[in-house]
């Protein structure tokens, strides 16, 4: 399961400039320049056969979709039947599978990244990731992943040319969000209390015949659904029995604009442990900040809002912060200034008196 964005957000390092453009509904390009002592950069291109119906201008992009943060789970949606994809003309099938192509080259190292996505069916997706870099074994690597999504469960089969790695991943969603309509004494019982949450369990297993080594990990997660009337929260626990690592986390959305998260890691072989805490604070536009904050802070029960209602309360910036048991602090501010998207971050080590500030970074992005 993916680590929470409330704790593992990336801090910019040095000065980064990004310029992107959606020249058509099917084609986009991006150019970056980085200064971290040396000047380097990259340029990338993206093509998709499915037209992108999203705003591309910097001043129109909805920040809560762009910046990773606390996300509420959506209701499970069963994939469409195969026959709904079929398009026939004069007795012949003319339907095509949606495809995405992405390429990025880094300068001056000339390293190359490439991505190929293709929908094989409504429930199957093929992903090919390629890397060409002198620093990787054989100067290149290819990762192939076949994803199968059946709503209630999903599977991934993967193969990597690096050490001929083979792997399988799986996720199962238990039926904890259904009502109990059992009958007792010939009387129909009222529906039981709706759990308004989803319990999920997953795991992965991989093996390399060349290195004769493998690994495995398991995880469980419980998260509230949009129908939950209280504060949204998520509980997760992951276990890697071979390495001896166990990790548990708890994230809660205290109100519309504030979320908190904590994580505890422990190794039962070395008895080493660490604790991390993080938060994110969103700031809305000046016109409705005061009234919205007052409403959220005194609210005793969480009130769901639809996507259209959320867009009426557009956010213009977010402040993220994290701290661990070693007094290492990371702070990130992301927001919009006119037509520019700005990310500014700093990492501080309070125990290091000689070098209190570890890194400082600024990233400026523009999209058209």
pLDDT at 314: 66
Across 66-70, 173-177, 320-324, the highest mean pLDDT is recorded for 320-324
pLDDT at 218: 96
pLDDT in tens, 38-47: 888 999 999 9
Cα atoms found within 13 Å of the Cα of residue 252, Cβ hemisphere only: 8
pLDDT in tens, 315-327: 688 999 999 999 9
Is 68 exposed, middle or buried, given 0-12, 13-18 or 19+ CB atoms closer than 10 A? middle
Indicate the helix (H) or strand (E) that contains 170.
Answer: strand 165-173
Could you write out the DSSP letters of every residue in 206-249?
EEETTTTEEEEEEEEEEEE-TT--S--EEEEEEEETTTTEEEEE
Question: What is the residue whose two structure tokens read 């969000």?
Answer: 177
Q: How confident is the model at residue 143 (pLDDT cuts 50, 70, 90)?
A: very high
Q: Average the pLDDT over each of 86-90, 156-160, 276-280, 319-323 and give the range with the smallest value.
A: 86-90
Q: How confident is the model at residue 173 (pLDDT cuts 50, 70, 90)?
A: very high
The arithmetic mean of pLDDT across residues 6-25, rounded, is 91
**CA distances, 155 to each of 75, 151, 152, 169 (Å):** 19, 10, 11, 6
Predicted confidence (pLDDT) at residue 278 exceeds the cutoff of 90: yes
pLDDT in tens, 74-123: 878 877 777 667 677 777 776 678 899 999 999 888 899 999 999 988 88
Cα atoms found within 13 Å of the Cα of residue 65, Cβ hemisphere only: 11
The arithmetic mean of pLDDT across residues 249-254, rounded, is 94
Percent of the chain with pLDDT over 90: 48
**Mean pLDDT value across the chain:** 83
The arithmetic mean of pLDDT across residues 209-238, rounded, is 90
Question: How does 210-226 read in b/e, with b if 16+ C-beta sit within 10 Å?
Answer: eeeeeeebbbbbbbbbe
Predicted confidence (pLDDT) at residue 274 exceeds the cutoff of 50: yes
């Amino acid at each position: 399961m993916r680590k929470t964005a409330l704790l593992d957000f990336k801090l910019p390092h040095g000065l980064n400039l990004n310029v992107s453009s959606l020249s058509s509904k099917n084609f986009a390009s991006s150019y970056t320049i980085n200064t971290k002592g040396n000047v380097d950069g990259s340029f990338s291109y993206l093509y998709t056969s499915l037209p992108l119906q999203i705003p591309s201008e910097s001043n129109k992009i909805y920040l809560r979709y762009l910046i990773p943060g606390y996300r509420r789970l959506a209701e499970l949606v069963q994939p469409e039947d195969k026959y709904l994809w079929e398009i026939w003309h004069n007795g012949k099938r003319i339907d095509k599978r949606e495809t995405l192509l992405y390429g990025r080259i880094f300068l001056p190292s000339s390293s190359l990244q490439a991505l190929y996505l293709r929908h094989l069916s409504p429930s199957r997706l093929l992903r090919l990731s390629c890397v060409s870099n002198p620093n990787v074994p054989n100067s290149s690597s290819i990762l192939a992943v076949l994803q199968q999504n059946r709503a209630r469960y999903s599977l991934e089969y993967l193969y990597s040319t690096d050490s001929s790695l083979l792997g399988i991943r799986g996720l199962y969603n238990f039926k904890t969000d259904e009502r109990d309509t059992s009958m007792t004494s010939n009387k129909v019982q009222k529906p039981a209390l709706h759990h308004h949450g989803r319990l999920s369990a997953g795991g992965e297993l991989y093996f390399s015949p060349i290195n004769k080594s493998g690994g495995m990990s398991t995880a469980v997660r419980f998260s509230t659904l949009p129908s939950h009337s209280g504060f949204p929260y998520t509980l997760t626990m992951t276990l890697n029995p071979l390495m001896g690592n166990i990790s548990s986390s708890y994230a809660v959305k205290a109100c519309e604009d504030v979320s908190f998260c904590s994580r505890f890691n422990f190794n039962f072989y070395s008895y080493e442990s660490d604790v991390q805490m993080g938060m994110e604070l969103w700031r809305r536009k000046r016109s409705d900040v005061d009234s919205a904050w007052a409403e959220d802070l005194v609210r005793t029960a969480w009130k769901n809002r639809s996507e259209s209602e959320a867009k009426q309360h557009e956010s213009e910036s977010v402040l993220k912060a994290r701290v661990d048991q070693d007094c290492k602090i990371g702070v990130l501010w992301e927001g919009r200034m006119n037509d520019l998207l700005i990310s500014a971050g700093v990492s501080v080590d309070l125990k290091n008196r000689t070098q209190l500030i570890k890194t400082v970074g600024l990233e400026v992005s523009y999209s058209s």
